[in-house]
Chains A and B, each alone.
Chain A
C-alpha cells in the first residue's frame, strides 16, 4: 500500500473550500438583509422559511426604499453619523497618537502611572459613566458663533468631544511605537529633527497598519453609537443613524423598510472598510523592510 499523500492541489482546494464556507457564513445575514429589502412585507416573512430568504426571487422592487425615505430623514441621519464619525476618528487618531508618542519617546515624570491610568479606563463600561457624563456635558460652557453658551446637549460636539480620548487607541499606538526601531528616532534627533518633526515625518509615516486598525475600530464604535446620542440628542437635526432606526419600529413595524434602512446605513461601513483595507496593504507594501 502506498501512503496517502495529499497533493498540493488538493491542499489548496481544501483551503479554498474552507475559506468559501467561512465567507458564506459571514455573508448570509448581509444577503438576507439586502434581499429582504427588495421584497414586499408578506413575501419577506414567508420567504424566511426557506432558502428563498437569501435569493432575489419573487416580486422585487425599490418600494421599501421609497417608503423608508418618507418615514425618516435618512440623509440627515447618515450625514450626521458620517460627520460625527469622521471627525471623531480623525481627532482620536491625532490626539491618541500624540499621547502615545509622549509615553514612548519622551521622558517625563509619572508617565508610567499616567499610562496605567489610561489603560484602566478601558475596563470601565460606558454605561456606568453615561449619567455622570450627561450631567457634566449639560452644564459645560461653549464659545460659539452666537457668543457664550451653556450646555452641550443637542449638538455635534457632544457626540464628538467625549469620545476623542480613547484608552484603546492610545494602547494600540503605544504598542506599535514600542516596536519601531529606536534608532529611527535617535537618528532623526542627531539629524536635527524636533519632536514634532519626528512625529510627523518619521513616526507617523511608518504607522500605516496601526492607523488603519485604530481607524476601523473607532469608526465602528462611532458609527454604531446608540445609547449616548439617545440621551444627549433630542433634536432630529443632530440624530445619528442608529437612533434613527427607532422611526421604523414606531406605530407599525414594516420589516421591508427596516431592511431597506439597514442596507443603506451598512453601505458606508463597507465602503470605509474596503478603502482602509487597500490603504493598509499599500502601507505595508511601502514600509516593509527586509532584514
Chain B
C-alpha cells in the first residue's frame, strides 16, 4: 500500500525558504495534482518526494514509512520528466527496460514486461527505434513506459504534457487517466494547466509560494474555494473580483455594496466579521446574464463571439474590469452601457488577498 504523507515539509535553497511547511495526505491509489503558478514550488515538492532533493525539515512518508533519508531507488517511485529524459543512445526497448536491467531482472520476465507496457501504450511497433526517430508524443510514451514497467507504487509526473501540442495533449491526458484506472497506483502529477488538473485529479492541491492554498476534490475547489487565490486559479475565464464593503451581516449572509454593484445579500461562509469591512467579491463569468435592472452596471469594452458562447468584457464605474461568459451568441457594441444580473447565492466573498 502506498499512501504518501507530507508533514510540515520544508525546503530551503541556501537562505531562501521555497517550501514553507506543507501538509498533504495522499491515499493509496489516489490521483493527486499539484497546481500553481510558475515558481510556486511544485517541481521542488515532487523532486523531494522522488528523493532527488533533500528535505530540509518535516517528514515525508511513503506507505507508512518515513523515507526522508532514503535514496530515490529505495522509495519505490518512478518519475516522468517534463523533458522526457529518455536516453538517446538506447533503443526504445532498452529505454523502457532500463530499470529492469539495472535491477537484473531475468531476460524472459523483462521482455514480457516491456512487451506489456508497449501494448498498454500502443507503441509495440516503436520498440526497436531510437529516440531521435520518434515524435514528441511518442517520446512521451517511452518515458511513461519506462516508468510503468517497474510497477512502482507511486508515479510522479512533472508537467509531462507541456511540450505537446493541444490535440496530442488531450489524447495523452486521456491515456494517463486510463493508465491510472488500469494500474491501481498512486499518482502525483504536477501541472500549471488547470484543465489537466480538473480533468485528471481525484484531489487537487493548489500551491502558491511554497504553501498549500487549498486541497480537495476538483469540484469542491471549484464550487467552494477557500480564498481568492484558489477561486481565481481554477476556472476559465477566471473568476471576476471587485472590491466591496460590508454594510450589514448575519450568520450566513452579508449585505455588500461596491462601485457599480447595487446592494446585494450574498453568502459569506464565515469570512465576513464586521460591518464596514472591506472585502473581495467574486463571481464566475458563467454566472451572469444581461438584464435591464441587473445589479452590475458598466460599459462594454471588447466582446468575442465564439459561436456557441460570447465573452464580453465590461468596465464598472471605478474602472474595474469584469468578464461575462454567455452561453449564447449575442452582439455587444463597444461603449454600450450594459447591466448584468446574477444569483447572489453563486457569488463569493473573500478576505482581501495579501
> Contacts A288-B132, A289-B132, A291-B136; is A189 near B89 (CB within 8 Å)?
no
With both chains docked as a complex, state the minimum distance between the C-beta of A105 and any C-beta of chain B, in angstroms: 12
Bound: A129/B75 CA distance, A: 50
Residues of chain B with a CB closer than 8 A to A231's CB: none
Quick check: is A184 within 8 A (CB to CB) of the other chain?
Answer: yes
Residues of chain B with a CB closer than 8 A to A290's CB: 132
Bound: A32/B16 CA distance, A: 67
Q: Mark A59-85, 1 if CB is under 8 A from B, else 0.
A: 000000000000000000000000000
Residues of chain B with a CB closer than 8 A to A184's CB: 85, 87
Residues of chain B with a CB closer than 8 A to A288's CB: 88, 132
Bound: A266/B71 CA distance, A: 51
Quick check: is B52 within 8 A (CB to CB) of the other chain?
Answer: yes
Is there contact, CB below 8 Å, between A183 and B83?
yes
Is there contact, CB below 8 Å, between B132 and A190?
no
Bound: A212/B118 CA distance, A: 36
With both chains docked as a complex, state the minimum distance between the C-beta of B50 and any C-beta of chain A, in angstroms: 6
> Contacts A186-B81, A290-B132, A291-B136; is A191 near B88 (CB within 8 Å)?
no
Quick check: is A286 within 8 A (CB to CB) of the other chain?
Answer: yes
Quick check: is A6 within 8 A (CB to CB) of the other chain?
Answer: no
Closest to B73 in A: A192
Is there contact, CB below 8 Å, between A189 and B52?
yes
Is there contact, CB below 8 Å, between A191 and B102?
yes
Bound: A202/B94 CA distance, A: 12
Quick check: is A287 within 8 A (CB to CB) of the other chain?
Answer: yes
Quick check: is B331 within 8 A (CB to CB) of the other chain?
Answer: no
Is there contact, CB below 8 Å, between B79 and A287?
no
Is there contact, CB below 8 Å, between B88 and A202?
no
275-291 of chain A: CB within 8 A of chain B: 286-291
With both chains docked as a complex, state the minimum distance between the C-beta of B51 and any C-beta of chain A, in angstroms: 8
Is there contact, CB below 8 Å, between A190 and B72?
yes
The listed residue (B71, B130, B131, B150) touching A189 by CB distance below 8 A is B71
Q: Mark B63-97, 1 if CB is under 8 A from A, else 0.
A: 00000000111000111010111111100000000
Is there contact, CB below 8 Å, between B99 and A192?
yes
Quick check: is A116 within 8 A (CB to CB) of the other chain?
Answer: no
Q: Mark A209-242, 1 if CB is under 8 A from B, else 0.
A: 0000000000000000000000000000000000
With both chains docked as a complex, state the minimum distance between the C-beta of B176 and any C-beta of chain A, in angstroms: 18
Interface band, chain A: 20 to 34
Is there contact, CB below 8 Å, between B78 and A190?
yes
> Contacts A192-B103, A193-B102; is A187 near B132 (CB within 8 Å)?
no
Residues of chain A with a CB closer than 8 A to B72's CB: 189-190, 192
With both chains docked as a complex, state the minimum distance between the C-beta of A187 and any C-beta of chain B, in angstroms: 4
Q: Mark A174-195, 1 if CB is under 8 A from B, else 0.
A: 0000000101101111111100
Is there contact, CB below 8 Å, between B52 and A191?
no
Quick check: is A205 within 8 A (CB to CB) of the other chain?
Answer: yes
Quick check: is A170 within 8 A (CB to CB) of the other chain?
Answer: no
Bound: A255/B130 CA distance, A: 55
With both chains docked as a complex, state the minimum distance between the C-beta of A8 and any C-beta of chain B, in angstroms: 29
The listed residue (B47, B89, B130, B146) touching A205 by CB distance below 8 A is B89
Quick check: is A197 within 8 A (CB to CB) of the other chain?
Answer: yes
Quick check: is A206 within 8 A (CB to CB) of the other chain?
Answer: yes
With both chains docked as a complex, state the minimum distance between the C-beta of A66 and any C-beta of chain B, in angstroms: 49
Bound: A113/B131 CA distance, A: 38
With both chains docked as a complex, state the minimum distance between the C-beta of A5 and any C-beta of chain B, in angstroms: 37
Residues of chain A with a CB closer than 8 A to B102's CB: 191-193, 197, 201
With both chains docked as a complex, state the minimum distance between the C-beta of A201 and any C-beta of chain B, in angstroms: 8
Residues of chain A with a CB closer than 8 A to B189's CB: none
Is there contact, CB below 8 Å, between B89 and A190?
no
99-150 of chain B: CB within 8 A of chain A: 99, 102-103, 130-132, 136, 146, 150
Residues of chain B with a CB closer than 8 A to A192's CB: 72-73, 99, 102-103, 150
> Contacts A289-B131, A290-B132; is A187 near B81 (CB within 8 Å)?
yes
Residues of chain A with a CB closer than 8 A to B99's CB: 191-192
Is there contact, CB below 8 Å, between A193 and B73?
yes
Quick check: is B98 within 8 A (CB to CB) of the other chain?
Answer: yes
Bound: A187/B47 CA distance, A: 11
Bound: A286/B132 CA distance, A: 9
Is there contact, CB below 8 Å, between A202 and B87?
yes
Q: Mark A247-291, 1 if CB is under 8 A from B, else 0.
A: 000000000000000000000000000000000000000111111
Residues of chain A with a CB closer than 8 A to B89's CB: 205-206, 286-287
> Contacts A206-B88, A287-B88; is A183 near B81 (CB within 8 Å)?
yes
The listed residue (B131, B136, B146) touching A191 by CB distance below 8 A is B146
Residues of chain A with a CB closer than 8 A to B83's CB: 181, 183
Closest to A205 in B: B89
Bound: A184/B95 CA distance, A: 11
Residues of chain A with a CB closer than 8 A to B146's CB: 187, 191
The listed residue (A188, A193, A289) touching B88 by CB distance below 8 A is A289
Closest to A188 in B: B98
Closest to B149 in A: A191
Bound: A202/B50 CA distance, A: 19
- B residues contacting A by CB (< 8 A) are 47, 50-52, 71-73, 77-79, 81, 83-89, 98-99, 102-103, 130-132, 136, 146, 150
Please list 29 pairs of residues, one from A and one from B, whose beta carbons are closer than 8 Å in the complex, sorted by A's number.
Answer: A181-B83, A183-B83, A186-B47, A187-B85, A187-B146, A189-B51, A189-B52, A189-B71, A189-B73, A190-B50, A190-B51, A191-B102, A191-B146, A191-B150, A192-B73, A192-B103, A197-B102, A202-B87, A205-B87, A205-B89, A206-B88, A206-B89, A286-B130, A287-B88, A287-B89, A288-B132, A289-B131, A289-B132, A291-B136
Beyond A191-B98, A192-B73, A192-B103, 12 extra complex contacts between A and B, CB < 8 Å: A183-B85, A184-B85, A186-B47, A186-B85, A189-B72, A190-B52, A190-B72, A190-B78, A192-B102, A201-B102, A206-B88, A288-B132
Closest 8 CB pairs of A and B: A183-B85, A192-B73, A191-B99, A187-B85, A289-B88, A205-B89, A183-B81, A190-B79
